[in-house]
A and B are shown apart, each in its own frame.
Chain A
Amino acid sequence: MDRVKTSALSGAEIVVRCLQDEGVEYVFGYPGGAVLFIYDELFKQDKVKHVLVRHEQGAVHAADGYSRSSQKIGVALVTSGPGVTNAVTGIATAYMDSIPMVVLTGQVPTHAIGLDAFQECDTVGITRPIVKHNFLVKNVRDLATTIKKAFHIAATGRPGPVVVDIPKDVTVAVCEYQYPEEVSLRSYNPARKGHAGQIKKAVQLLLEAKRPLIYSGGGVVLSDASKHLTELVRLTGFPCTNTLMGLGAYPATDKQFLGMLGMHGTYEANLAMQNCDVLLAIGARFDDRVIGDPANFAQNPRKIIHIDIDPSSISKRVKVDVPIVGNIPDVLDDLLKLLKESKPQSIDAWWAQIGEWRAKDCLKYDRKSAIIKPQFVLEKLYEVTRGEAFVTSDVGQHQMWAAQFYKFNQPRRWINSGGLGTMGFGLPAAMGVYLANPGATVACVTGESSIQMCLQELSTCKQYRIPIKVINLNNKYMGMVRQWQQFFHGNRYSESYMDALPDFVRLAEAYGHRGVLVEKPADVEPALKDAFARKNELVFLDFITDQKENVYPMIPGGKGITEIILSEDL
């Protein structure tokens, strides 16, 4: 056994040492047969803290929330087979929103792969379409380099989740350990600087614009380019709109901000999008929830400049006139330099037009209602937390109201599953957010349907003393499904009513938390104030809200921006 040298480590030790050397603070995971040796090594040290979730989906969402709310890479650890398949929803969620993450998965021993072993699944095959990249490590000698590559790939270029599948025998085998300081891959060299000629062309278009609009997305948040964007908007005096994923990149309380655009975006943002003559898209991808039908969008002629790190995001749904591939902060630096040398035209007439659209007050709702309006809860949440909370959400009406009514002035404060639209994301994501930002105010805005999809994580919150506040907008319906059924399916509410709901107050109490039922509008603010004053307690606020409330404005799926539906109150 001359392979066993004194300085040689087992694969399991190497995994943990890699995490330590990578500076990983938390691993979110769930043990199982294939990862027992790794867990044994985690047990023997205290540099890397492990958070035991109650379901692997929760582990990946928590790692995701950890990553989104910080500039760090989230890490999850799950066992083979069902551990992996349970993690799939979380991985796909992170992939759709380009979240840097490393997921370590156990695998059956190499000699058993392909033989339908107990808890075996083809992890690399199953996750291939939902990861930036994945690896199966067949030899312990490749383990450290592969983990380094995984962290490198996850965080650079357009970020994304990377899966490293580690067979059990590889965690037992030994070899010398050395963590590479850096890795280079000949086939992977993400661009940084944008093309100088293209940037010059972009500046020319911006200077000539009469009706310009800056439209920015999640890429600005991910690349930490919020300061650059803010400087650009202020310098040019142009209006700015953010996508759902881009909220917080530009301060929402600023007068140049038109609100979110898209299916449930503001009237002014959507009409500006449709009627602008020069559109500067930054880290956004013209997806179906933003522009609806591309043919309708193309009816109004406009010049489009598109800055993105990912060439395949450019001219995918909408033909672009000036594509600029590069890292957003680098490109904006160059753009700002050139813009400072000259002055854009006056766009007073354009602002006057936008002012008219704004006057519609498209987010207006009935403030005198005797039943709690969900929008009212979010307005009060914003006030009580002074706009400084980290807000995670699940998926549906509550998500859209949170995006519309909570004014995010900072990036990485709004944490939601925009691309995949994963119900169940909010609660576990909030755990990751809190651990990345200990002591911070964290609210999970959810609904009675979404919260039940990862409810078990209330137990994890108890174990790790994670004092988030759950804002449950309980209208007894899958609200967004109900809304579509009302609009497009003749009021046939097929399976969207949530019967036999649990008593959420007692449920929260059963998990060892505080539960509060709020049924009257007058009680909303006091309940929120009381909850957020309890710094060390998880409070589950169950707001009984108007069952018939709809999210407005709305551009029906597949329709154009011009087909926007406004509230009947307008």
Chain B
Amino acid sequence: MRHIISILVENEAGALSRIAGLFSARGYNIESLTVAPTEDASMSRMTIVTSGSDDVVEQITKQLNKLIEVVKVVDLSEAQHIERELMLIKVKAGAKEREDMKRMADIFRGRIIDVSDNTYTIELTGDGAKLDAFIKSLDQGVIIETVRTGASGIGRGNRVLRV
């Protein structure tokens, strides 16, 4: 089963490789991993999307908690949460595709952020499924390049992860 795990970690050199190393050493799967500092510069927040049985995910959270630099771990998928991912996608936008492409971006509430004679670069935010759907809805021949950040997540309502 897919799980989305949020981690608060000391913003120290090597913390990322400690966490990534844990996943590879113990054979856990990483679907995506994002990390950036929080409002408190001494701490980073990481979101890892992984999959595994309940037993495996329980071990993952325990093993993460065991790392000295990890301050807090929460499995967001245990309760209501929101996920967002950013995609930048460069597509062919010659004279004949230009109109169609603009309309598709609008339908998916994407924004065109760069334009050239024959390309658009579209910015699209949403959960993973929405980004997948956008890619699927395009003629595969028009996609030149895609880059996705991987999911970031946050709990709904009063559910917070902070020190």
A residues near B (Cβ < 8 Å) are 124-125, 128-129, 132-133, 136, 153, 185-188, 310-312, 314-316, 319
Contacts and interface: CB of A to CB of B under 8 A. Distances in A.
User: Closest 3 CB pairs between A and B?
Assistant: A312-B62, A187-B71, A133-B68
B85 interface: no
A311 B58 CA distance: 10
A311 B69 CA distance: 17
B65 A185 contact: no
Nearest to A132: B68
Contacts of A128: 14, 17-18, 21
Given A132-B68, A133-B68, A315 B58 contact: yes
B70 A187 contact: yes
Contacts of B66: 310-312
Contacts of A314: 62
A132 B63 CA distance: 12
Contacts of B21: 128-129
B69 A187 contact: yes
A311 B17 contact: no
Interface residues of B, number: 20
B25 A188 contact: no
Given A187-B69, A187-B71, A312-B59, A129 B25 contact: yes
A108 B17 CA distance: 21
Given A128-B14, A312-B65, 6 more contacts: A128-B17, A132-B68, A186-B163, A187-B9, A312-B62, A312-B63
A132 B69 CA distance: 11
B117 interface: no
A256 B9 CA distance: 47
Interface of B: 9-10, 13-14, 17-18, 21, 25, 55, 58-59, 62-63, 65-66, 68-71, 163
A133 B69 CA distance: 9
B40 to A, nearest CB: 11
Contacts of A315: 55, 58
A187 B62 contact: no
A195 to B, nearest CB: 16
A186 B17 contact: no
A124 B14 contact: yes
A162 to B, nearest CB: 9
A185 B12 CA distance: 13
B62 A311 contact: yes
Given A125-B17, A129-B25, A188 B163 contact: no
12 contacts: A125-B17, A128-B17, A129-B25, A185-B68, A186-B71, A187-B9, A187-B70, A188-B68, A310-B66, A312-B59, A315-B58, A316-B59
A132 to B, nearest CB: 7
A419 to B, nearest CB: 15
Contacts of B69: 187
B4 to A, nearest CB: 20
B44 to A, nearest CB: 12
Q: Which residue, A128, A312, A314, A315, has most C-beta atoms of chain B within 10 A? A: A312
Contacts of A187: 9-10, 68-71
Most B Cβ at <10 Å: residue of A125, A129, A314, A319: A129
A136 B15 CA distance: 12
Nearest to B12: A135
Contacts of B163: 186
Contacts of A129: 21, 25
A188 B25 CA distance: 22
Nearest to B18: A128
Q: Which of A153, A188, A310, A315 gathers the greatest number of chain B CB atoms within 10 Å?
A: A188
B104 to A, nearest CB: 45
Contacts of B70: 187
A128 B23 CA distance: 13
Contacts of A133: 68
A187 B15 CA distance: 12
Contacts of A136: 13-14
B60 to A, nearest CB: 10
A178 to B, nearest CB: 22
A129 B3 CA distance: 24
Nearest to A185: B68
Nearest to B69: A187
